[in-house]
């Protein structure tokens, strides 16, 4: 079978800036910030007291209360984003088509909240009091399973776990499933809910998180000289992918086309990126080569842009290494500057943003970029939205352990 084209015909998000995709994107364009002090648990003893929390999430309209109690928060986010995405795609699938419909929904950490709470139950009340749904509530693949159950997807159901690259990993694999004829329809992305005592303590103690507690809205500052760590966020982002001719035949709204996917591994360190950026550049190059275009054709990048000293400098090196002088002409931004780092869900949300950016020609700002860093010498769309027609856009995700993933999207002409 000849390789097939892949259309993005549905998008769905659950984020600290809302779950209405149109409103979410408008808020990004206006530079609205969702980082606040944590209010879901007492942070008095914590060195980090800020996060990108989802304050108004209500699963009630989507799931019966009995069923929602059997889901960890990450699973609830993933299920709602997927329902919204499927509805946005406006598609009806018959039983034979559902056998060609798959779900790849990843989570970098899974049900840490459920895990932590049940460990406390075990120690305080004994093994007989541990919830009988502890395991199916906590395991990270259950998000994809719940989505498949709800939507009737009978094709592949999978859960990649590649830390902060998980969402992009999921979308890239889903893209290939359709491109090479293994499925016709895929729902793919990531979901995460790790704003809880044990996760915040762990990330804080490894010095990964920003400690700018006095001014939460200023804490996530990708590529700025005074960045001091990422701000943890939560939520979900998913795409509905469809074989191109089928999408055209039913006159679907096509947000963008996915044309390339690249991945590589630093093989260097459990948390730090390989400092030259060579393998992040390799990952992006593979995505571009799959699309059979030139590096000069790429004029927009949704960066991983975490606001950590090492990541932002290394990603800048990688972009300069791959694109050369053309790097300075690329519009780059970081969605994490406004919603924080959604870990395994980040790539899913940022893929949605990439598709909407290509479609609209509007590139949201990287907020809080106030003091230039000599090591970060590119155009990061500082503090103001810009309008620019971009034909191709990369979405980058890099995870602990050296996992590098990138997808390349094309504007629908």
Positions marked active-site: 164, 304, 341
According to DSSP, the residues that pair with 288 across neighbouring strands are none
**Three-class SS state of 239:** strand
Specify whether the CB–CB gap between 164 and 108 falls below 8 A.
yes
Separation between Cα atoms, residue 183 and residue 150, nearest integer Å:
19
Classify residue 144 by its DSSP letter.
H
Specify whether the CB–CB gap between 109 and 140 falls below 8 A.
yes
Q: Enumerate residues 6+ apart whose C-beta is below 8 A from 334.
A: 222, 223, 302, 303, 304, 305, 306, 307, 366, 380
Classify residue 230 by its DSSP letter.
B
Of the candidates 408, 409, 407, the one whose C-alpha atom is nearest the C-alpha of residue 169 is 407
Query: What are the backbone dihedrals phi and psi of residue 89, each rounded to the nearest 5 degrees, phi first?
Result: -70, -20
**Three-class SS state of 246:** helix
**Three-class SS state of 19:** coil
Longest dimension (CA), the chain: 64
Relative orientation angle of helices 278-291 and 309-323, to the nearest 10 degrees: 50
Of the candidates 122, 78, 127, 337, the one whose C-alpha atom is nearest the C-alpha of residue 233 is 337
Classify residue 273 by its DSSP letter.
P
**Three-class SS state of 345:** helix
Alpha-carbon distance values, 351 to 128, 303, 334, 372 (Å): 43, 11, 12, 27
Separation between Cα atoms, residue 204 and residue 47, nearest integer Å:
7
**Tokens (6 digits) for 187:** 């729902």
**Three-class SS state of 29:** helix
Separation between Cα atoms, residue 228 and residue 274, nearest integer Å:
19
Angle at 232 between CA 130 and CA 192, to 5 degrees: 50
């Amino acid at each position: 079978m000849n390789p097939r084209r892949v259309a993005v015909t549905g998008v769905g998000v659950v984020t600290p800036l809302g779950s209405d995709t149109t409103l979410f994107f408008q808020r990004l364009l206006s530079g609205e910030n969702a980082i606040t002090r944590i209010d879901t648990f007492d942070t008095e003893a914590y060195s980090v007291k800020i996060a990108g929390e989802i304050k108004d999430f209500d699963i009630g309209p989507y799931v019966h209360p009995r069923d929602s109690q059997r889901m960890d928060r990450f699973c609830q986010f993933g299920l709602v984003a997927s329902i919204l995405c499927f509805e946005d795609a406006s598609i009806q699938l018959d039983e034979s088509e559902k056998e060609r419909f798959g779900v790849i929904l990843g989570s970098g950490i899974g049900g840490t909240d459920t895990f932590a709470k049940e460990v406390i139950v075990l120690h305080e009340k004994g093994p007989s009091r541990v919830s009988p749904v502890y395991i199916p509530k906590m395991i990270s693949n259950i998000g994809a399973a719940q989505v498949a159950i709800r939507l009737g997807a009978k094709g592949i159901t999978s859960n990649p776990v590649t830390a902060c690259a998980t969402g992009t990993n999921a979308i890239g694999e889903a893209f290939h499933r359709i491109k090479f004829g293994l499925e016709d329809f895929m729902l793919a992305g990531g979901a995460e809910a790790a704003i809880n005592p044990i996760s915040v303590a762990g990330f804080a103690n490894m010095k990964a998180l920003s400690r700018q507690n006095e001014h939460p809205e200023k804490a996530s500052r990708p590529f700025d000289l005074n960045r001091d760590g990422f701000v943890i966020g939560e939520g979900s982002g998913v795409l509905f992918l469809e074989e191109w001719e089928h999408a055209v035949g039913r006159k679907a709204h096509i947000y963008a086309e996915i044309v390339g996917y690249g991945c590589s591994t630093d093989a260097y360190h459990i948390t730090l990126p390989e400092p030259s950026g060579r393998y992040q550049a390799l990952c992006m190059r593979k995505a571009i080569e799959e699309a059979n275009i030139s590096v000069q054709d790429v004029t927009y990048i949704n960066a991983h842009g975490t606001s950590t000293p090492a990541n932002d400098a290394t990603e800048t090196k990688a972009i300069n290494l791959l694109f050369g002088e053309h790097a300075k002409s690329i519009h780059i931004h970081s969605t994490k500057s406004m919603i924080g780092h959604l870990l395994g869900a980040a790539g899913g949300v940022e893929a949605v943003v990439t598709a909407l950016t290509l479609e609209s020609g509007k590139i949201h700002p990287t907020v809080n970029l106030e003091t230039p860093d000599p090591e970060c010498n590119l155009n990061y769309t500082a503090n103001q939205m810009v309008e620019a027609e971009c034909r191709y856009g990369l979405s980058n995700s890099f995870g602990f352990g050296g996992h590098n993933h990138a997808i390349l999207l094309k504007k629908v002409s």
